[in-house]
Amino acid sequence: MKTWIKFCGTTSLDDAIASVEAGANALGFIFAPSKRRITVERAQAIIRELPAGVERVGVFLNGTIDEIRETVSKVDLTGLQLHGNEFAPEVYSYLPKDRQASLRIIKTVMMCGRFEWFVDPLTTVPGVVYAWLLDSGAGSGKTFDWQAARAQLGQRQGRFIVAGGLTPGNVGEAIRTFSPWGVDVVSGIEAEPGRKDREKMKAFVASVRKAEQP
């Protein structure tokens, strides 16, 4: 199965189209304090121009229920990435009923300790969290200790997305280490914060596909 690829921090239509052409499966729109933050109106304007099959993920950091609900009502998202202290089952329960089935929830786990987080919402509300994103910190641009994390994960099953400091040069190693369901990249494919680099995007996707080969 091909690795799911998300290019995050989308801020312009040109970058969005280039991301799709490079081979990204999903685009991330950051609605939290960030150099790559985007308004609800601008995100929806970009999304209106995208091919139907491209996933659109809204990224929130310690977002309130009201903020997330309002964004979902105005932006045609296919997923939510909860990057802070948001409690996934609570967010899910307050989503508009007609959107609950169509919005995939990705919950971020900061890789700075052991896995107490696995006393998790999956056991209390099965099916709420679609995938877990393993990250080194919001916008840090740094990798975490992959070998230590791999050892701590053990035989746990689930959709894991690796993020944090990925580049065309190291994403292959990340895939060989984790065999993840997906990968998520921001700074590693940028010319500068908020503006994508076309060649880096193409190189990133090429490195992912090469690493998948036996």
Among the options 8, 15, 120, 184, which is catalytic?
Answer: 8
What count of residues does the chain have? Answer: 214
Predicted model pTM? 0.92
Q: Tell me, yes or no, if 66 is annotated catalytic.
A: no
- Long-range pairs of 62-69 with CB within 8 A, sequence gap ≥ 24: 62/32, 62/86, 63/31, 63/32, 65/90, 65/91, 65/94, 67/31, 68/94, 68/95, 69/94, 69/95, 69/96
Angle at Cα 125 formed by Cα 119 and Cα 129, nearest 5°? 75
Residue at token pair 């979902």? 72
Among the options 14, 135, 145, 184, which is catalytic?
Answer: 135
Q: Tell me, yes or no, if 135 is annotated catalytic.
A: yes
Tokens, residue 46: 């970009």
Q: Which residues sit opposite 79 in a β-bridge?
A: 57, 104
Q: What is the pLDDT of residues 113-169, one digit of tens each?
A: 555 444 444 344 557 889 999 988 755 678 988 998 888 887 777 899 999 999 999
Taking the domains of the chain in order of start, what are their residue ranges?
Answer: 4-212
CATH no., domain 4-212 = 3.20.20.70
Q: What is the pLDDT of residues 68-125, one digit of tens each?
A: 999 999 999 999 999 888 888 889 888 888 888 889 999 988 886 555 444 444 344 5
